[in-house]
Structure 1
Amino acid sequence: MAPTGSAQGGVLSSRQIQAMAEAGAIRVSAPLAAGQVQPASLDLRLGPKAYRVRASFLPGKDRRVGDILSALAYDEISLDGEGAILERGCVYVVPLMEGLSLGADVSGAANPKSSTGRLDIFTRLIADGGDRFDEVAPGYIGPLFAEVSPRSFSVRVRMGSRLNQLRFRARGTDAGQGSVVLNDAALAELHKKTPLVDGELNLRDGVVLRVALGAEAFGGVIGYRAQKHTDVIDVDRIGAYRIDDYWDRLPARDGRLILDPGDFYILASRERLAIPPDLAAEMAPMDAAIGEFRVHYAGFFDPGFGAAPDGRPGARAVLEVRSREVPFILEDGQYIGRLVYERMAEKPEALYGESGVSNYQGQGLKLSKHFEAG
């Protein structure tokens, strides 16, 4: 099935994910679609029905999601054909077209896709018997479900729409290989050979990123704030929407930005970064003590992301930001997130940007792929 029993642990590559599907470790109700297998993850597809529920939930040990849905769901919605609109502020649970039959040494971790996070669609993975969102335990056999809650915009989805992605991790058998997560000392040594960011490397249990709020960063516009009353966005339409119909452009103002509680912002990092071909990365939150805000809903970075033709870091991290309870002042250059790096079990056959369409390679301050450039 999966690459069980291998000496090299780490994040599984596209080739290994494809092998899992062929062996039945990934169970599908329809064949995998083109582009669904990414360099270090699998896009998950919505099934034919969604269930509107009163509240978010976790099944807990020995309980099935389907049994809880029977008690909580009060509206069953068909996603066939043109699909359906998921309303802003509501919570839905959608059975996915993929299920799993994992080996004892393979686990899963999920995250929203980049475009999902930039649309402020709160999406989490649920598995039977799970007591944590976005985690699939080693040896799991069963279906998968997505909890979907649009926060800023109502969205149209349909069967086959892809909102979140699943990354697989294999536990290696070589006791001497150490952790697959790189510590700060290893990152500092790697940065000397292969720059992880342009400029100074800041480390704190990962590579620390700073927010860019200066006028020089992006031609005077340092971010976007989601408007509160807009039309619906179809998640499968690319380049179809005008920015100014959905977003307020934020001009640079003395290197500061006041985050209003509950508002949703798209910002970008000061640093340009690159993910080496044998590593994968994930955005993790900074210590909550640094500020009352949440950053980056969609956290996976694939091997090869940001790699410029000259070998230098070439892409900024786009940050999805929401303040919590109180207004909060962000300053240009303030620490806002950190990247945690993991070893790949093997280098992917094709890196990010080398196969298919990669909407965010070389990005600066960039909204989701649904919006026209400009």
Structure 2
Amino acid sequence: MSDTTAPGILPSQSIDELIAKGAILSDKPFDKDQVQPASLDLRLGARAWRVRASFLPGRGRKVTERIADVAMHELDLTKGAVLERGCVYIAELQEHLKLPPGVSARANPKSSTGRVDVFVRLLSDAGPAFDDVAEGYHGPIYIEIAPQTFSVLVRQGTRLNQLRLKRGQPSRLRIESVGVDLTDGIAGFRARRHAPVVDLDREDGHDPSDYWEPLIPRDGQLLLDPGEFYILASKEAVEIPVMEAAEMTPIDPSVGEFRVHYAGFFDPGFGTDEAHGKGSRGVLEVRSHETPFILEDGQTVARLVYEPLTARPARLYGDLGSHYQRQGLKLSKHFRAWGN
């Protein structure tokens, strides 16, 4: 590979090299826009299963063995299928891994997946944890899908999560706090219950008023109701330098009984002037837990953890026409702009 042997997140050209060398394989040819600046989009395969419960395969066991224990019925994704809210599914992914020694991976939901409150996690054979793929792993990968608020329509090829590959154990460069913006005007959206199905391959094709209720804070405060799902925006602009990548981590309970941001990866160039994104905000997917909670303008709700890349990426965030560069408060790409 062309970059150094220092620990770090692999950039786009290193992912391209892994694909060329057969370390990342696919049932179908890779899409031209599948490789991001520091991550790889993953695509649903042909089959999914409605399962009775979430699970981990455990050491020495394959995911397919556990599916046989808990499967209720099989879905054909080549024809499209609706995944019902409140249910759990396991789906094949088109991609397979033959990671070389020293290279491991971590998965996270794509931004658009988190913004419609679809909880997804990666599984690998014998994997003791969700989302983390062991160094040198050879085998298939799967995705657990659990729609929380909206039922969703998916198909073979739908992209719900992404894979970040890394060499060694990258050091944490710094950790930054992220506050919430609750200034005047529409400061967020709350998901409506019993909304129509969201087609996850249909961009700008849904009327947001059918799915979301706008929120106007009072005196810089917003009351979070338990079990409800909210879209808010960060107080600060977020900027990811071109030689770094970041992950937004859920806040610990010491600052509030809520969870923020299912989709955690921020690629190099997000929010930078160099990539024409200066001033971009982080969008926060927020769910309150057991008790009502009052958020205040500027309150810390999440943290960004920065890690180094092994080399400057050949492409930056926004080069592929991302929906979320230069964003402020913004719903997922599936919805038309509010008021249009």
Considering the TM-score relative to the shorter chain, is it more than 0.5? yes
Q: Taking structure 1 as reference, are residues 312 and 27 closer, same or farther at Cα in structure 2, changes over 3 Å only?
A: closer
In 2: Cα distance, 1:46 partner to 1:311 partner: 31
Change in Cα spacing, 1:307 to 1:365, as seen in structure 2 (3 Å) is: same
Equivalence for 1:202? none
Please name the residue that 1:75 is paired with: 73
**1:286 aligned to 2:251?**
yes
Is 2:324 the counterpart of 1:360? yes
Alignment-derived partner of residue 181 in structure 2: 212
Distance 1:260 1:347, change over 3 A: same
Q: Assess if the C-alpha contact under 8 Å between 1:9 and 1:170 holds in 2.
A: yes
Q: CA deviation at 1:286?
A: 2.4
Separation in 1, partners of 2:189, 2:202: 20
SS in 2 for 1:18: helix
Quote the sequence identity (%). Answer: 54
Question: 1:105, CA displacement in angstroms?
Answer: 0.3
What secondary structure, in the 3-state scheme, does the structure 1 residue paired with 2:187 have?
strand
Pair 321,126 (structure 1): closer, same or farther in 2 beyond 3 Å = same
Aligned to 2:40: 42
Give the 3-state SS of the residue equivalent to 1:47 in structure 2: strand
Unaligned stretches of 5+ residues in structure 2: none
Structure 1 residues 164 and 311 mapped into 2: Cα distance closer, same or farther (>3 Å)? closer
Aligned ranges 1:175-190 → 2 under 5 Å: 179-183=170-174
1:8-61 deviation line (CA, Å, top 9, x unaligned): 221111111011111110021111112111000000000001100000000111
Secondary structure in 1 aligned to 2:240?
Answer: coil
Structure 1 residue 308, shift from structure 2 partner = 3.0
Runs of 5+ unmatched residues, structure 1: 173-178, 184-205
| Contact map agreement 1:307 1:362 (CA 8 A) in 2 | no
Aligned counterpart for 1:136 among listed residues 118, 123, 133: 133
Whether the aligned pair in 2 keeps the contact of 1:106 and 1:169 (CA below 8 Å) is: yes
Q: Distance in 2 between matches of 1:85 and 1:300?
A: 26
CA distance in 2 between counterparts of 1:5 and 1:319 reads 33
Aligned equivalents of 2:202, 2:276: Cα separation in 1:
33
Task: Please tell me whether residue 228 in structure 1 is matched to residue 193 in structure 2.
Answer: yes
* Larger strand fraction of residues: 2
Q: Deviations over 1:249-286 (max 9, x none)?
A: 00121111111111000001100121111000100122
Q: CA–CA distance in 2 between the matches of 1:180 and 1:313?
A: 26
Aligned to 2:230: 265
Whether 2:300 is the aligned partner of 1:335: answer yes
Given that residues 47 and 77 in structure 2 are in contact (C-alpha distance below 8 angstroms), is that contact kept between their aligned partners in structure 1? Answer: yes
| Maintained 8 Å contact 2:191/2:211 | yes
Task: Determine which of 144, 148, 164 is the counterpart of 2:145.
Answer: 148
In structure 2, C-alpha distance between the alignment counterparts of 1:170 and 1:138, rounded to whole Å: 9
How well do the aligned residues superpose, as a CA RMSD in angstroms? 1.5
Instruction: Give the superposition deviation at 1:71.
Output: 1.4
Deviations along 1:121-172, one digit per CA (max 9) or x if unpaired, are: 0000000001110000101111000000111100000000000000000128
Aligned residues: 338
1:274 paired with 2:231, answer no
1:81-123 Cα offsets, whole Å, 9 max, x none, are 3x01000110000010001011120010000000000010000
- Code of the aligned partner of 2:135: P
CA contact (8 A) 2:275 2:318 kept: no
Structure 2 partner of 1:20: 18
Change (3 A) 1:71 1:373: same
Cα distance in structure 2, aligned partners of 1:128 and 1:310: 38
Distance 2:25 2:196 in 1: 36
1-side partners of 2:2 and 2:257: how far apart? 42
* Alignment-mate amino acid for residue 333 of structure 2: K
Secondary structure, aligned partner of 1:71: helix
